[in-house]
Structure 1
Amino acid sequence: MKYAFLALPLLALTACEPAPEGEPVTRTRIDGKADPAPMATPSPEATQGGNMQVESACRSIIFEDTPLTHCLAVPSRHTIATDLSPPDGSPYRSLSAFSRNEDGKTIAFAMNAGMYDDEGNPIGYFVENSQRLQTLNTNEGSGNFHMDPNGVFYGSDGEWEVRTTADFLANVTERPQFGTQSGPMLVIDGKLHPEFSQDGESRLIRNGVGVDDRGRAHFVISNGPISFGKLARFFRDVLEVQNALYLDGNVSALWNPATERLDTGAPIGPILVVRKKDTPDD
């Protein structure tokens, strides 16, 4: 067990907009080369690496003139976990730090996973390896996290779900293997969040997650500024996701080892990690 911090004071929402002080997120590659220009490709896509073909769980796509990266986690091929810090250590605060503790060959992709306080600890429900490190946050407040309804992305044994916080509180009785609370919800039972306009004026780099009717988890990060409404419509209209959760904005970041993309920028908090399952050789 790393540590527990179950008390929930009224903390400053470091990851909420307006953005914290610091560098904006930079889309970069481990080798220092620029990320390729976004293009619509089938998912998953494959990239050449020496004499071996490395499959990527992510694809680049354009939605209404906005470039996005869409990453797909499939229960038969992937596992999902949350990660906050190395054992007995402080939060990673970056995907770069996290990557130094991992074998990239085992990682399909990783993405920041919700909002956090000044120390990088989650401000809402957070479960890692079936250990609850933070209780469900039902407080009222300002900022994106408290834009009712917010929600929880969680799962166990390859069954993944997104629920509103109220739904989670009322119906989930067993602790999942992983879980992270964030907000606002983007899509609720097939409908956009009631406070979103079609394409509002607030536009930042943003990311979110949703689960479709086949149990696949769709992770999306914008490669350019995007409104809440447009991001939510991509989940609903293109990915056909009934429930989707906003993870964060402006600090949003992705690590995709297959394409050597490793985003850097302002400090992040919790991380969602999608790992490849061991599969028999063909």
Structure 2
Amino acid sequence: MLRLALVFLLMPLAAGAATCRDASFEGTSYTLCEVTLADDLRLFHSGAEGPYGSFRAVNEALEAEGRTLGFAMNAGMYHRDLAPVGLYVEEGSEAARLVTRAGPGNFGLLPNGVFCWGERFRVIESRAFKAEAPACRFATQSGPMLVIAGALHPKFLPASDSTYVRNGVGVSADGSRAVFAISNDAVNFHAFARLFRDELGLEDALYFDGNVSRLYAPELGRHDGGFPMGPIVGTVVPKG
């Protein structure tokens, strides 16, 4: 069976439109969406009336541009008021600060990291991000890291019984591609991280969330609902 990484490399991508597909890895179903630097990938959080909270609200805001979401998913953890937990940068403007201390929950399970893009896509461990202070057009912090320079997070256990629907992002070594993944079945951290490293060949990957993970992929007829979301990542395409 061809590796998913090779399948993605051989598939042409239309500018501005992510390519989403269903796939299987070790008996678990996933949906994968790949984005390149040619795509208009953005973060969304708030409009004039406060946090968007849903894919539908983002699409309503984009109507003023004559545009719509090509694909989208939740992109990091958030407080009860939907404010981002950790760093959040939108169009170069920092709305929430970087958090580097350990803490409770998955976000504080260090090392955590930042998904940042501008001239290229990057997933950077949070303390390395603080030391480097890279310029990001968009950035969202989450945790834990799934894959760090080819190594799985040291606290992941292969036989862990903590399983949820999970989503995250991994980036290619040259920073030209970002692959977003959501499990369609409950999966533990170790298996989810191995999807990025062993099947997709991505040496840096970041966890976004679990249990509340959601995807908007109209080409697959998918528009997940549920509780309001905080940060949302998605491509923007002309409205047909």
Q: TM-score, normalised by structure 2?
A: 0.87
**Which has the higher Rg, Structure 1 or Structure 2?**
1
Bigger shift: residues 191-200 or 178-187: 191-200
Separation in 2, partners of 1:80, 1:167: 24
Contact 1:96 1:262 in 2 (8 A): no
Which residue number in structure 2 is paired with residue 81 of structure 1?
42
Which residue number in structure 1 is paired with residue 139 of structure 2?
179
Bigger shift: residues 195-204 or 99-108: 99-108
Which residue number in structure 1 is paired with residue 227 of structure 2?
266
Bigger shift: residues 105-114 or 223-232: 105-114
The answer as to 2:50 corresponding to 1:101 is no
Decide which structure has greater strand share. Answer: 2
Separation in 2, partners of 1:56, 1:140: 34
RMSD: 2.2
Matches within 5 A, 1:200-219: 200-214=160-174, 215-219=176-180
> Which blocks of at least 5 consecutive residues in structure 2 are unaligned?
none
Amino acid at match of 1:217: A
Q: TM-score, normalised by structure 1?
A: 0.75
Counterpart among 70, 84, 87 of residue 125 in structure 1: 87
Counterpart among 134, 150, 153 of residue 190 in structure 1: 150
Amino acid at match of 1:99: N
Q: % of aligned pairs identical?
A: 41
Matches within 5 A, 1:126-275: 126-157=88-119, 159-174=120-135, 176-214=136-174, 215-275=176-236
Separation in 2, partners of 1:217, 1:173: 18
Separation in 1, partners of 2:131, 2:187: 33
How many residues were matched structurally?
Answer: 226
Separation in 2, partners of 1:92, 1:221: 21
**Secondary structure of 1:146's partner?**
coil
Decide which structure has greater helix share. Answer: 2
